[in-house]
């Protein structure tokens, strides 16, 4: 089991649905939503939250810096 459990918060209204976070995630946590935000973009969200290890890859590559990452020791 992973040593860390992570979670991300996406500012969905500011997300542009570029998908760069999706391909950067080593554990396939993120998907683009079927729905759209106010700008018409399919925003990113945690589709598989249990797999998040809080590595921050998604936050680092996001051009609009709309992802906040949290990480806690796995209990």
Partner 1 sequence: MTATTEINNIISKENLVYKKTDVLLDNEMHYCPGCTHGVIHKVIAEVIEEMDIQDKTIGVSPVGCSVLAYNYLDIDWQQAAHGRAPALATATSRLMPDKYVFTYQGDGDLASIGCAEIMHACNRGENIVVVFVNNAIYGMTGGQMAPTTLEGQVTATSPYGRDCATTGFPMKMSEMVSLLPGTRFVTRQSAETAGAVRKLKKAIRKGFENTREKKGLSFIEIVGTCSSGWKLSPTQSNEWMKENMFPYYPLGTLKDE
Q: Which residues bind partner 1 (CB under 8 A)?
A: 5-7, 9, 14, 16-20, 22-24, 41, 46, 49-50, 54-57, 59-72
The owner of tokens 């998907």 is: 31
- Cβ neighbours for 50, distance < 8 A, ≥ 6 positions apart: none
d(CA 73, CA 65): 24
Decide which of partner 1, ligand SF4, none touches 48; Cβ closer than 5 to 8 Å per partner kind: none
3-state secondary structure of 11: coil
List residues near ligand SF4 by CB under 6 A. Answer: 6, 8, 10, 15-21, 24-25, 27, 29-30, 44, 52-58, 62, 64, 66-67, 69
């Amino acid at each position: 089991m992973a040593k860390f459990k992570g979670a991300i918060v996406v500012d969905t209204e500011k997300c542009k649905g570029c998908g760069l976070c999706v391909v950067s995630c080593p554990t396939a946590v993120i998907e683009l939503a079927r729905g759209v935000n106010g700008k018409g973009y399919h925003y990113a969200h945690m589709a598989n939250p249990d797999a998040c290890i809080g590595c921050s890859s998604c936050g680092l590559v996001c051009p609009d810096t709309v992802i906040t990452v949290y990480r806690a020791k796995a209990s």
